[in-house]
Amino acid sequence: MSRETRRPRRPGRRLNVGNRYSASILIGGKLRRKQFMTFMEEVYLADLGVDWGVPFPAELRDPAWMPDLLDDAGRLYLMSDQACDGQFADLEEWLRSSEMSYDRHSGVDGGCDRVVEMWRPGMERPLQRWASIEGDALITVGPIIEAHKALRLGHVQIAQDLLDRSVGVLQHIAVLPCFEITD
């Protein structure tokens, strides 16, 4: 039985057809306790787990278990080796509408490059960048090399401008906050 037929779909949800790629998502921010079960349903429907290839265990779908599931930085890290087109479209939409921050990292399968997508409350749309295997956003190295040369020549302002151009909007993305359940 395919993953598409195992998970029930609510009316209005996207049909999960497309290429399947590995992807993970780091989630942070404040989740209201009354939203917890809806959040767990979104995690379930996205076929996410706390380990590769293992669906989220039903016994852990309890707010009391959340602290044990957080990474060292206090964020919720979930993954799937079968994400539709390397993303979790419905979950990501739900997170944005719930003002929850996330960084999604899509792996390389079928000739696609790694991508990181970052979203924080207040952003008009998620920011996508090419990514390293660790999920870090990649930047163009050319301006960095030129900035290094400018610094060696004592041209600090030119170096600063080159670094600003290289880093661009990434410098304005806030650190992913801790995942927290609030009343």
Asked if pLDDT for residue 78 goes beyond 60, the answer is yes
H, E, C per residue of 92-152: HHHHHHCCCEEEEEECCCCCCCCEEEEECCCCCCCEEEEECCCCCECCCCHHHHHHHHHHH
Cβ neighbours of residue 140 closer than 8 Å, sequence gap 6 or more: 166
Q: Are strands 115-119 and 127-130 parallel, antiparallel or unpaired?
A: antiparallel
Percent residues over pLDDT 70 in the chain? 87
| Tokens (6 digits) for 55 | 């669906």
H, E, C per residue of 47-94: CCECECCECCCHHHCCHHHHHHHECCCCCEEEEEEEEECCCCHHHHHH
24 contacts 78 by C-beta, under 8 angstroms: yes
- Confidence band for 71, pLDDT divided at 50, 70 and 90: very high
- Confidence band for 139, pLDDT divided at 50, 70 and 90: confident
pLDDT digits (tens, 9 = 90+) for 97-132: 999 999 999 876 555 578 899 999 999 999 988 888
pLDDT digits (tens, 9 = 90+) for 140-162: 888 889 999 999 999 999 999 98
- Which single residue is written with the structure tokens 């009354």? 34
